[in-house]
Amino acid sequence: MKRLSPSLFNLGSAVFAGPGIGAGYAGVITGSMILLIIALLCALVCALLQAIAFQRAVGDRLEAILSGIRPAAPADDDLRRL
């Protein structure tokens, strides 16, 4: 199964951030607790998606770094030749 790109999680986060900001602003203006809870839930989903994107980006970077490391060749034992 192919892993999703971190940019897709960032896009999902942006999709949830827009309505969250709108609901938070409307909740403050109208004093509606329901809209403020919706804004809080959108912020929670946004933070979760950002955390997943960060974890994927760091994992991809670490995998790229580790792929360049090759195991060292075994040392020659000169004592056997004596």
pLDDT tens digits along 6-60: 888 888 899 889 999 999 999 999 999 999 999 999 999 999 999 999 999 898 8
Q: Report the alpha-carbon distance of residue 3 to residue 65 in Å, rounded.
A: 18
Q: Tell me if the pTM is above 0.75.
A: no
Q: Report the alpha-carbon distance of residue 17 to residue 25 in Å, rounded.
A: 12
Region 61-68: what's the mean pLDDT? 83
Residue 63 pLDDT: 85
Three-state SS for 7? Answer: helix
Q: Which of 34, 36, 39 is nearest to 19 (CA)?
A: 39
Place of tokens 């900001």: 21
Band of residue 72 on the pLDDT scale cut at 50, 70, 90: low
